[in-house]
Amino acid sequence: MAPMSEEDQKKNVQEVVLEQIKEHKVSMHSKSYFMLHAVLFGVGVTLIFLALIYLGSFIIFGLIQSGVWFVPTFGLRGWFIFFRSLPWILILLVFIFALVLEIMVRRYSFAYRRPLLYSMLGIVGLVILGGFCMSRFNVHRELWQYGRANRLPLVHGFYRQFGAPRFRDVHRGIVRMGEPSGFILENDEGETSTVMITPQTRFFRFRDYDFVASDTVIIYGDRDGRIIRAYGIKNIGQ
């Protein structure tokens, strides 16, 4: 918009504004401009929302896949490992996306008429619901398996790094066969390890102790080569 000249200063606001309009120094945006703006904004909000659902459900998938999701049942040390093993970069990304989404939806009356806490909780609730729906369709498992088979090279690296990270003291796998002092565990990559059960190994429920071949178990314990000394075992079934 053109700056005011000295002559303009003497005129009243109405005269100046109408003059600027008539001289085409100021022109109104068309209705389609605002419609396009609203549509693009809506698409942006939807994309960020979908990205949030994807990331949220991906974090949960990664935690379950790596076994970290279950380690808090091993007590205080389990909680310590849980927090230490959380994918903090992804969590930070989720936080940033949620913040951006919150700022974007604040322009809508349903958001600004309520305290920020409510719209934030609404976003979190919808992300959890969306993440739950996503897990029902096994989207991440499918993508992860494609990634493993190298059919999606870009996704492969991402899912390898974040979808099923490997930790030194948390191990997830399938029980293959019993051994005198433990059993053979096979992970998703097909690698096998020997799990040593000692008097110090903790079981929390009868089901954890009563595993059979082909059960999926989470082992909490240090790895030494191909031997894992189990401090805790959790059976999550087949």
Partner 1 sequence: MSLETDEVIAKRVQGGDVESFGILIERYENKIARYARKFLLRGEDVKDIVQEVFMKAYVNIQSFDTTQRFSPWIYRIAHNEFINAIKKKERGPLFFFDLDTILPQSVAPETADGESQKQEMKRILDQSLDTLGALYREPLVLYYYEDKDYAEISEIMHLPIPTVSSRLRRGKAMLKKMLMENHGADV
Give the phi and the psi of residue 215 in degrees, each rounded to 5.
-75, 145
Q: Does 31 bind partner 1 (CB under 8 A)?
A: yes
Stretch that binds partner 1, among 13-21, 80-88, 182-190, 194-202 (CB under 8 A): 13-21
Rounded Cα–Cα distance for residues 119 and 111 (Å) = 6
Q: Which of 20, 73, 135, 216 binds partner 1 (CB under 8 A)?
A: 20
Q: Does 114 bind partner 1 (CB under 8 A)?
A: yes
Stretch that binds partner 1, among 6-14, 51-59, 70-78, 126-134 (CB under 8 A): 6-14
The residues pairing with 221 across neighbouring beta strands, listed in sequence order, are 230
Outline where 86-168 has alpha helix (H). 88-105, 109-112, 116-136, 139-148, 153-158
Which uninterrupted H or E stretch holds 6?
helix 6-10
Structure tokens belonging to residue 70: 């279950």
For residue 173, the SS3 value is strand
Nearer Cβ to partner 1 (121/177): 121
Q: Does 24 bind partner 1 (CB under 8 A)?
A: no
Nearer Cβ to partner 1 (23/149): 23
Stretch that binds partner 1, among 114-122, 151-159, 213-221, 225-233 (CB under 8 A): 114-122
Q: Does 41 bind partner 1 (CB under 8 A)?
A: no
Size of the site for partner 1 (CB under 8 A): 30
Instruction: Report how far apart, in Å, the C-alpha atoms of 88 and of each of 60, 63, 93, 124, 145 are.
Output: 12, 12, 8, 17, 24
Closest Cα to residue 208, out of 196, 218, 200?
A: 218
Nearer Cβ to partner 1 (18/47): 18
Nearer Cβ to partner 1 (21/96): 21
Site residues (vs partner 1, CB under 8 A):
1, 4, 9, 12-14, 16-18, 20-22, 26-31, 33-34, 106-107, 109, 112-118
